[in-house]
Structure 1
Amino acid sequence: MRHMTEAAPAKVNLFLHVTGRRGDGYHLLDSLAVFGPAADALSATPAEALSLTLAGPFGATLAAEQDNLVLRAARALAAATGQAPAAALHLEKHLPVASGIGGGSADAAAALRLLNRLWGSGLDADALARIAAPLGADIPVCIASRPARMQGIGEVISAAPALPECGLLLVNPRVPVATPAVFRARQGAFSTPAPLPQAWPDAASMAADLLRLHNDLEAPALLLCPVIAEVLAALRATPGCLLARMSGSGATCFGLFATAAAARAAAENMPRDWWAIGGAPCA
């Protein structure tokens, strides 16, 4: 019996500009997304029906969901390929839920990659992204799980600047934040798309450019979840932190460091009741 596994790395928004709003209410964005250093883990074995079990430190949070996004992704792939939706899926949930790092989207993308292999569907990344798009605007960028620029409502994906060696520290105060509520609380004018270079020579140069940009959802998220300010303050007070910012709609924040080792060491100094992990982003 084949047993296959797939990582579902966190999606981290290094900046996030809200550039407009469509007539249907969806907001237009401009963002640079990178992945890691934390990830969920999805596994699958052949079965006669489709099922999903949950484990891991945040698995119980999803237990009440009647139709997990992983199962919806599995059924979408089966429908697109004429495959019977049958597999025993197991999700080890290591990423906080409703935390601004695309955990659900990453899990759905991992399901599409994993079942594409298990079922021998033979679809390429572009085909998987097309299947993913109706399930959620963040899922297509998670298919490749590599640095990318996201625009439109998240579905317009282009190449990211070449990233230098660096480290990321992710910190979450274990408080969920609802994305729709953050968008409703956002006020003020829309931002312009960001100017980005083709590459950064080092982490300090990248941090200097990113400091001129922002996350337009940080201010409304702070109103709804004030503890985010404490996380940002802790990151900014950490030696070696080149940039501290909230990711996505929060509450997870990240610190940018010159090396993965520095980010891992900084994680050890975060408050023990917070979730914190450091390392290198996915290349």
Structure 2
Amino acid sequence: MIAIRAAAAAKLNLYLHVLGRAANGYHQLDSLVAFASAHDLIEVAPGNGFSLSIQGPFALSLLMEDTDSNLVAKAVKALAAALDRPADLSITLFKNLPVASGIGGGSADAAAALRAVATLWGLEPDDPVLARIAPTLGADVPVCLAGRTAYFAGTGTELTPAPDLPESWVLLVNPGVALSTPQVFAARTGAYSDPGRLDNMPATVADLADALRDRRNDLSMAAQSLAKPVTEALAALEMTPGCLLARMSGSGATCFGLYADADGAVAAGTMISRVRPGWWVQPAALVNDVAAVETVGEGDAIAV
């Protein structure tokens, strides 16, 4: 049986500015979003009815939840309903990324599931039904569905393609704490920011780090006030040789360091893992297109 595989790549907010708050209570955002080669993996195949299997190092917390509350299940059932067909699908989620960690997690999984099922059912990648469903699942799902370096505005659903990033590597570090996005936003204090979009995309990773240093993640201080390990993760990254920039992604708690090459990111990961063996530490390349992430293993699977 042919299965379809899709990468649910880690989403990184290279900067994240909170511009204000709308009358409906939602915060207005401005962010440059990139993706890393570290990823979850979705595999879908025709099934007798609907089933969702979850495997991998971060599967346990999801296995303890009701299947219907999983964003993957919500995504594919919403697509099936929109197409007026049964969700007769066998889906496996290989959960390699930490849960509730600021790197897209469930949103990336939902987007990858939409892409995979669309391919299985013969839909074009730009079919409007996918774009209609994505924002109903969460603010990060549209950018994860697009799967390319982009700016987002509004609540995260207004996307503008960004020029390709220079070749860059990151070290992802999660100190083992989960943060609630609403709680982090509620803890944010101080003035709102202006948009921070770059006039031109820097040509080198060093120049990219310089440009990002003039910007920030406006949720970082709030997250640190709720979880001291976020501060510790940022400090650990800053101490590694070759770290050009250390920053938290999204509402945390995952932080990333920016490096010029793979050797620097791997060496930094080894250094941090020795002193913090309980942390999740993952070197990865920044990718401008999620399709560049290799997702085909052994067997008769097709990657999208």
Q: With structure 2 as the length reference, what TM-score do the two structures score?
A: 0.90
Give the counterpart of 1:221 among 196, 220, 223. Answer: 223
SS at match of 1:278: strand
Which contiguous aligned blocks of 4+ residues in structure 1 show a shift greater than 2 angstroms? none
Q: CA deviation at 1:70?
A: 0.2
**2:59 alignment partner in structure 1:** 59
**1:133 alignment partner in structure 2:** 135
CA contact (8 A) 2:79 2:129 kept: no
Give the counterpart of 1:253 among 234, 239, 255. Answer: 255
CA contact (8 A) 2:179 2:251 kept: yes
Q: Give the letter for the 2:287 counterpart.
A: C
Q: Do the aligned partners of residues 126 and 150 (structure 1) sit closer, same or farther apart at CA in structure 2, a change above 3 Å counting? A: farther
CA contact (8 A) 2:31 2:151 kept: yes
SS at match of 1:154: coil
CA distance, structure 1, for counterparts of residue 257 and residue 116 of structure 2: 31
Q: Give the letter for the 1:129 counterpart.
A: A
Q: Do the aligned partners of residues 17 and 126 (structure 1) sit closer, same or farther apart at CA in structure 2, a change above 3 Å counting? A: farther
- Which 10-residue stretch deviates more, 63-72 or 203-212? 63-72
CA distance, structure 2, for counterparts of residue 152 and residue 277 of structure 1: 30
Q: Do the aligned partners of residues 125 and 99 (structure 1) sit closer, same or farther apart at CA in structure 2, a change above 3 Å counting? A: farther
CA deviation digits over 1:170-196, x for unaligned, max 9? 000111111110011111111110140
Q: CA deviation at 1:129?
A: 2.4
**2:282 alignment partner in structure 1:** 277
Give the counterpart of 1:118 among 109, 117, 120. Answer: 120
* Identity between Structure 1 and Structure 2 (%): 51
CA distance, structure 1, for counterparts of residue 201 and residue 194 of structure 2: 21
Q: Give the letter for the 2:13 counterpart.
A: N
CA contact (8 A) 1:37 1:277 kept: no
**2:82 alignment partner in structure 1:** 80
Q: Which has the higher contact order (CA 8 A, sep 6+)?
A: 2
CA contact (8 A) 1:261 1:279 kept: no
CA contact (8 A) 2:32 2:197 kept: no
SS at match of 2:176: coil
**2:180 alignment partner in structure 1:** 178
SS at match of 1:280: strand
CA distance, structure 2, for counterparts of residue 97 and residue 210 of structure 1: 26
CA deviation digits over 1:73-93, x for unaligned, max 9? 001111222221110111110
Matched, 1:13 2:18: no
CA contact (8 A) 2:35 2:148 kept: yes
CA contact (8 A) 2:82 2:129 kept: no
Q: CA deviation at 1:127?
A: 4.2
CA contact (8 A) 1:125 1:143 kept: no
CA distance, structure 2, for counterparts of residue 99 and residue 263 of structure 1: 20
Q: Do the aligned partners of residues 126 and 140 (structure 1) sit closer, same or farther apart at CA in structure 2, a change above 3 Å counting? A: farther
CA distance, structure 2, for counterparts of residue 125 and residue 150 of structure 1: 20
Q: With structure 1 as the length reference, what TM-score do the two structures score?
A: 0.97
Q: Do the aligned partners of residues 123 and 145 (structure 1) sit closer, same or farther apart at CA in structure 2, a change above 3 Å counting? A: closer
CA distance, structure 1, for counterparts of residue 60 and residue 164 of structure 2: 38
- Runs of at least 5 residues in structure 2 that lack an aligned partner in the other structure: 289-304
- Which 10-residue stretch deviates more, 260-269 or 47-56? 260-269
CA deviation digits over 1:150-186, x for unaligned, max 9? 1110000002233111111100011111111001111
